[in-house]
């Protein structure tokens, strides 16, 4: 990168402002619904966790400006400045919150959309990842039930406190970068991010602009007519027509995105080229987040407080793929936790020579030579997958059919990743959760509204049989505990964490764990 990215903190709405215009009767109805939902879901586990956690949690939203790149090259937008809405979670002294309960506002899900309820509603109804619509809920759930649930979520408190001060402990804090999935958002692994922050980590999560639904880059304070950065506004003049009146970028016909790297092109070769370009853009977004951490460690409240010698990386779904890419291609990352990642087969031997990328240019999937990031692991890696993840299994089946390699099966649902695990020469952990699908570990509809969303599906390899999915609360608890133990071992270098990492306590709930070179 030619220059460090610049950052602006956003100013989010207050709790009173978000309630403006809401009748008192409806607000109390929503509060009652929130109480019911919290008593039935994983939030109950979260609430109990907070009494034992080491720290309270602070959070803030910022905008990273990477001036070395245009706004969205993958979508053909080659002007402007690459802008990434970014969430930060970090540890706060518990006494700060206990002794000043009214000074710092508890964050809500509405804060993720800058207090804009209509955008929140679009996110919940018009994107495939969240989807709370009449076609996606249990029988008997009415449209009014759906409306109330969406409204309740907007006001639902998160664990963190907006702008609370960083803990005063003198030692440096370990750092994790989080990368979201295809059509995902910066809070797709929120439970893990909060859990890590509550245990002393700083976690930074950039949204991959163009591959995140309704990315509200127009809410960047640097773009404000009053108090903004006029030079930056001028650099972004070509981008303004691409933003809607809510400040969102991306096509409404494409779930509020400018591209979807897994499905845009019907031509296999072009699809692979597009996928490669998308992964490189994501890799450079992660590098921008790393540059941002270096800048944070120089000035401001985090100056001198971050341990950047060993940095962790984690991601879910396509973010799991981005995690494997980051570990292979960016030296500043030390270890990675990849959740339900697609595994990409090395197809270079089947490609026409002219499509391959010379070694003087970066490529994830099409480099003319070198190891394939999904077939050879360079650094300590945790792979966490679902045995009934029909989306990832389906992608694996397509690739195996085309390449003539081992196809997914009931005994080996993720063969390409399994092969990479078995031949790994670095520490690798394999985790497979039985009766779990692609959404089990995600902060999405089934996690937010388990009483509204279906909890059964058909067996991937035996569609005549229907089964009950693992509870989201179980999946999230496993995910965050294993992530903490893995990063404690590989980032903090706490050897005692190995016992917790490899503990089989969850085996009765279907988590199968194996390790190599650990």
At 8 the pLDDT is 52
Q: How far apart are the first and last CA of the chain?
A: 34
What residues have CB less than 8 Å from 245, skipping those under 6 apart? none
Determine the Cα–Cα distance for residues 309 and 307; give it in Å rounded to an integer.
6
At 112 the pLDDT is 97
Pick from 388, 507, 395: nearest CA to 436: 388
Within a domain: residue 458? yes
Residue 358's Cβ-count burial label (10 Å; 0-12, 13-18, 19+) is exposed
Do the strands 82-92 and 56-66 form a parallel or antiparallel pair, or are they unpaired?
A: antiparallel
Within a domain: residue 1? no
Domain that holds residue 458: 6-516
In this predicted model, what pLDDT tens digit does every residue of 416-468 receive, in sequence order? 999 999 999 999 999 999 999 999 999 999 999 999 999 999 999 999 999 99
In this predicted model, what pLDDT tens digit does every residue of 252-284 receive, in sequence order? 888 889 988 876 567 888 889 999 999 999 999
Tally of domains in the chain: 1
Determine the Cα–Cα distance for residues 94 and 489; give it in Å rounded to an integer.
25
Determine the Cα–Cα distance for residues 446 and 130; give it in Å rounded to an integer.
8
In this predicted model, what pLDDT tens digit does every residue of 275-333 receive, in sequence order? 999 999 999 999 999 999 999 999 999 999 999 999 999 999 999 999 999 999 999 99
DSSP E strands: which ranges in 400-500?
428-433, 456-458, 466-468
Within a domain: residue 306? yes
pLDDT at 71 over 50: yes
pLDDT at 47 over 80: no
For residue 476, report the phi and psi dihedrals to the nearest 5 degrees: -65, -40
Q: What angle do CA 133, 207, 279 make, to 5 degrees?
A: 105
Buried b (16+ CB within 10 A) or exposed e, 175-208: bbbbbbbbbbbbbbbbbbbbbbbbbbbbbbbbbb
CATH number at residue 243: 3.40.50.1820
Q: How confident is the model at residue 7 (pLDDT cuts 50, 70, 90)?
A: low
At 356 the pLDDT is 96
Phi-psi region of 228 (alpha: psi -120 to 50; beta: other; left: phi over 0): beta
Three-class SS state of 48: helix
Question: Angle, to 10 degrees, between the axis of helix 190-198 and the axis of helix 472-490?
Answer: 50
Q: What angle do CA 239, 243, 10 make, to 5 degrees?
A: 90
At 15 the pLDDT is 41
DSSP E strands: which ranges in 359-510?
381-386, 428-433, 456-458, 466-468
CA 278 to chain CA mean position, Å: 16
Contact 206, 186 (CB under 8 A): yes
Pick from 62, 8, 89, 68: nearest CA to 288: 68
Within a domain: residue 122? yes
Pick from 361, 405, 392, 444: nearest CA to 184: 444
Determine the Cα–Cα distance for residues 425 and 18; give it in Å rounded to an integer.
52
In this predicted model, what pLDDT tens digit does every residue of 211-247 receive, in sequence order? 999 999 999 999 999 999 999 999 999 999 999 999 9
């Amino acid at each position: 990168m030619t220059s460090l990215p610049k950052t602006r903190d956003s100013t989010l709405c207050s709790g009173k402002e978000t309630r403006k215009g809401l009748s008192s009767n409806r607000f109390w109805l929503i509060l009652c619904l929130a109480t019911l939902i919290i008593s039935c879901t994983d939030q109950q586990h979260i609430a109990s966790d907070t009494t034992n956690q080491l720290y309270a949690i602070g959070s803030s939203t910022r905008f990273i400006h990477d001036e070395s790149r245009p706004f969205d090259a993958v979508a053909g937008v080659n002007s402007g400045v690459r802008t990434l809405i970014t969430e930060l979670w970090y540890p706060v002294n518990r006494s700060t919150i206990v002794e000043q309960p009214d000074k710092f506002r508890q964050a809500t899900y509405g804060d993720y959309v800058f207090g804009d309820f209509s955008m929140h509603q679009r996110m919940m109804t018009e994107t495939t990842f969240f989807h709370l619509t009449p076609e996606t809920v249990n029988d008997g759930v009415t449209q009014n039930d759906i409306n109330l649930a969406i409204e309740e979520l907007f006001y639902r408190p998160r664990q963190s406190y907006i702008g609370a001060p960083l803990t005063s402990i003198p030692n440096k804090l370990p750092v994790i970068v989080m990368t979201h999935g295809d059509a995902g958002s910066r809070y797709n692994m929120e439970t893990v991010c909060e859990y890590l922050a509550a245990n002393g980590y700083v976690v930074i999560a950039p949204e991959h602009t163009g591959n995140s639904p309704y990315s509200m880059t127009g809410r960047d304070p640097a773009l404000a007519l009053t108090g903004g950065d006029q030079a930056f506004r001028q650099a972004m003049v070509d981008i303004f027509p691409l933003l809607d009146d809510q400040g969102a970028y991306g096509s409404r016909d494409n779930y509020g995105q400018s591209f979807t790297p897994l499905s845009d092109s019907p031509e296999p070769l072009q699809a692979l080229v597009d996928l490669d370009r998308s992964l490189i853009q994501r890799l450079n977004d992660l590098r921008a987040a790393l540059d941002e951490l270096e800048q944070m460690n120089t000035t401001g409240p985090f100056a001198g407080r971050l341990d950047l010698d060993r940095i962790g990386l984690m991601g879910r779904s396509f973010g799991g793929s981005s995690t494997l890419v980051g570990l292979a291609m960016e030296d500043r990352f030390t270890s990675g936790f990849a959740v339900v990642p697609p595994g990409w087969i090395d197809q270079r031997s089947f490609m026409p020579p002219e499509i391959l990328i010379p070694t003087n240019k970066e490529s994830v999937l099409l480099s003319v030579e070198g190891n394939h990031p999904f077939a050879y692991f360079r650094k300590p890696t945790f792979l966490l997958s679902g045995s009934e993840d029909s989306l990832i299994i389906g992608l694996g089946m397509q690739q195996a059919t085309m390449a003539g390699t081992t196809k997914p099966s009931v005994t080996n649902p993720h063969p390409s990743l399994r092969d990479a695990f078995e031949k790994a020469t670095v520490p690798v952990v394999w985790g497979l959760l039985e009766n779990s699908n692609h959404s089990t570990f995600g902060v999405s509809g089934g996690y937010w509204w388990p009483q509204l969303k279906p909890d059964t599906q058909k067996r991937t390899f035996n569609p005549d049989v229907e089964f009950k999915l693992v509870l989201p609360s179980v999946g999230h608890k496993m995910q965050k505990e294993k992530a903490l133990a893995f990063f404690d071992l590989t980032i903090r270098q706490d050897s005692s964490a190995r016992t917790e990492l490899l503990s089989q306590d969850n085996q009765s709930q279907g988590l199968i764990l194996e390790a190599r070179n650990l």
